[in-house]
Amino acid sequence: MTTVIDGKQVAASVIDAVKTASQALKDQAGVKTGLAVVIVGNDPASHAYVSSKSKMAKECGFTSVQHTLPEETTQEDLAALVQTLNKDETLHGILVQLPLPKHFNSEAIIQSILPEKDVDGLHVVNAGKLATGDLDGGLVSCTPAGAMVFVKRTHGEDLSGLNAVVIGRSNLFGKPMAQLLLAANATVTIAHSRTKDLAAVCRNADILVAAVGRPEMVKADWVKPGATVIDVGINRIAAPEKGEGKSRLVGDVAFDECAKVAAVITPVPGGVGPMTIAMLMANTVIAAYRKAGKTAPKF
């Protein structure tokens, strides 16, 4: 019987742990965890994300600060705001919602956030710490951190002897995911669009993680029987069966057919997605503990 991971349920358990940790820090050290979220422009999807992040921060007992800036904000103005937030002792996490409007140099903004406040885990210092195996010193990008919670809850902390294949080599997900699996002692292959006979590579995986942005690319005959399949893709495809002009969300994995072969699989939607905001809250409370000189909780 295949286990379908309920991402909402796992995310809720992470959020409960974050609430407990943030309350404990307040009780023991008098420190209230603080998160600042910055959004520029009018992208409706970004606004929906940001309001859910701000709402969740309040729910976790954090000080939640939101800066909503107009589309025509300049690079200099945004950089100045980031510097102000960097200096604010009451804030432990800073998040600049991406994508920024086209006239921004996004990379320069992201790299200007203090690494210890970079709760998105995108600063080169945090990427470098992860690459060198310093999992306790940096902050890990939220989506791979969330996917890793599923892997560890399925296979335990030590993945010795297991083959893991990550399809996708993005800085945002593929590379950090591979580093996390490696740190847990898995034998890791990073596959991508230039990989020869991708299906054969995937068939060797005890843990298969798909993050390429191609709808339902991974088929049942790519999956080793009994494997754990983590689907990170979010693709919108036409759904004429729902009516004219309607669409639905699918992952990078052909769920219905792969679920018959895999032992554990994540659905889309409702799998990795809910974990991203949960791990953002986890990173923020970790950052607050470190700043207070306390041992940070693990999630």
**Strand locations in 44-88, DSSP E?**
63-69
Q: Does 97 qualify as catalytic in the annotation?
A: yes
pLDDT for position 243? 86
Cβ-contact 143, 272 below 8 angstroms: yes
Run of H or E residues at 163: strand 163-167
Q: Does 120 qualify as catalytic in the annotation?
A: yes
Q: Which of 120, 206, 231, 252 is catalytic?
A: 120
pLDDT in tens, 250-259: 999 999 999 9
Q: Which residue stretches of the chain have pLDDT < 50?
A: none
Q: Record the pTM.
A: 0.95
**CATH 3.40.50.10860 domain residues, the chain:** 29-115
Give the architecture-level CATH label for domain 29-115: 3-Layer(aba) Sandwich (3.40)
Q: Name the packing angle between helices 142-155 and 174-183 (round to 10°).
A: 40
Q: Which of 6, 16, 43, 53 is catalytic?
A: 53
**CATH 3.40.50.720 domain residues, the chain:** 142-274
pLDDT for position 1? 86
Give the architecture-level CATH label for domain 142-274: 3-Layer(aba) Sandwich (3.40)
Measured CA to CA, the distance from residue 132 to residue 229 in angstroms comes to: 26
pLDDT in tens, 26-82: 999 999 999 999 999 999 989 999 999 999 999 999 999 999 999 999 999 999 999
pLDDT for position 242? 87
pLDDT for position 149? 98
**Strand locations in 120-274, DSSP E?**
163-167, 187-191, 207-210, 228-231, 235-238, 247-250, 264-265
